[in-house]
Amino acid sequence: MKVRTIYDFLNEVSPFEYQEEWDNSGLNVGDYNQEVKKIYLSLDIDESVIEKVEDNSLIITHHPLIFRGIKRVVPNSFSTKFLIKLIRKNVSLIAMHTNFDKTHLNNYFATKVLGLSGVAEDFVFYSDVFMSFDELVNLVKDKMNLEKIKVVKTKDFIEKVAITTGAGMSLLSGIKADCFLTGDIKYHEAMDAKARGISLIDIGHYDSEKYFTDVLYKAIDGEIGFDVEIIKINSQNPFSLI
């Protein structure tokens, strides 16, 4: 199957034109005319992923490999190092990032992982929870299977939560909820939320988005055609808490 055919299929599943202006979803590396027999799914590229992926295949990641324009391809950064490795293995890479957040990933995390119901607005899922902050934290830890979680507590009781997988703190000024669940929360952002009276639960960038492979697998397996094999691998969380 040609990469072009798969790209067109993915474009129906989650249109690439839904991506944000700053995003770089779509074919990052490779060739639309390449014939592939294996499609790998992973949140990201890392060494373990590169090792597992067979030559002449396609990998679909959540995060683009390239964000900013590259002027020197020297293996001294994330983008250039793995760009070189993919090219040598003749592996094409398609990223489904902010388009997929909007159409699939955020909703899946809120409803299937956390088991909440509610409505989505662009990148934010809202749910009326009516429970104590401590209960909410326990629910999240339980559903995400986490031992420890970083929080900013400003209220004892939460009526409504807002949820954005990945790194959502740039959306804070528009959040209309008592508590915001997102990842990659920085100190000044936490101070700002606390001043606004909005509690925070840091669900982790990796931990809240690692479901990408499952969600995409379900959306395309059995639909994309018989002559390609779809394999879920996953990149590893770079962080460990020790």
Distance between CA atoms of 179 and 168, rounded to whole angstroms?
13
Contact in structure between 112 and 106 (CB atoms under 8 Å): no
3-state secondary structure at position 126: strand
Q: CB of residue 223 vs its own copies: minimum separation in angstroms?
A: 25
Is the CB of 104 or the CB of 205 nearer to its own copies?
A: 205
Q: Does 156 bind its own copies (CB under 8 A)?
A: no
Q: Is 101 annotated as a binding residue?
A: yes
Name which position in 60, 137, 179, 215 contacts its own copies (CB under 8 A): 137
Binding-residue pattern over the window 78 to 117 for its own copies, x denoting contact by CB under 8 A = x--xxxx--xx-----------------------------
Contact in structure between 31 and 4 (CB atoms under 8 Å): no
Contact in structure between 58 and 38 (CB atoms under 8 Å): yes
Residue 240 token pair? 């460990």
Q: Is 188 annotated as a binding residue?
A: no
Name which position in 57, 107, 168, 183 contacts its own copies (CB under 8 A): 183
Q: Which distant-in-sequence residues (6+ apart) come within 8 Å of 74 by Cβ?
A: 80
Residues 6-45 contacting its own copies, CB under 8 A = 24, 26-32, 44
Q: Does 56 bind its own copies (CB under 8 A)?
A: no
Name which position in 16, 109, 206, 211 contacts its own copies (CB under 8 A): 206
Contact in structure between 39 and 59 (CB atoms under 8 Å): yes
Give the binding range for its own copies (CB under 8 A) out of 13-21, 73-81, 123-131, 212-220.
73-81
Q: Which distant-in-sequence residues (6+ apart) come within 8 Å of 96 by Cβ?
A: 10, 14, 16, 25, 60, 61, 62, 216
> How far is C-alpha 100 from the geometric centre of its chain's CA atoms?
8
Name which position in 151, 175, 177, 203 contacts its own copies (CB under 8 A): 151
Q: Is 104 annotated as a binding residue?
A: no
Q: Which distant-in-sequence residues (6+ apart) come within 8 Å of 186 by Cβ?
A: 169
Is the CB of 118 or the CB of 166 nearer to its own copies?
A: 166
Please state the φ and ψ torsions of residue 224, each to the nearest 5 degrees: -80, -15
Provide the phi-psi class of 87: left if phi over 0, else alpha when psi is between -120 and 50, else beta. Answer: alpha
Binding residues for a divalent metal cation, by number, are 62-63, 101, 205, 209
Task: Give the residues lining the site for its own copies (CB under 8 A).
Answer: 24, 26-32, 44, 46, 63, 66, 68-78, 81-84, 87-88, 137, 148-153, 166-167, 173, 183-188, 190-196, 202, 204-206, 238-242
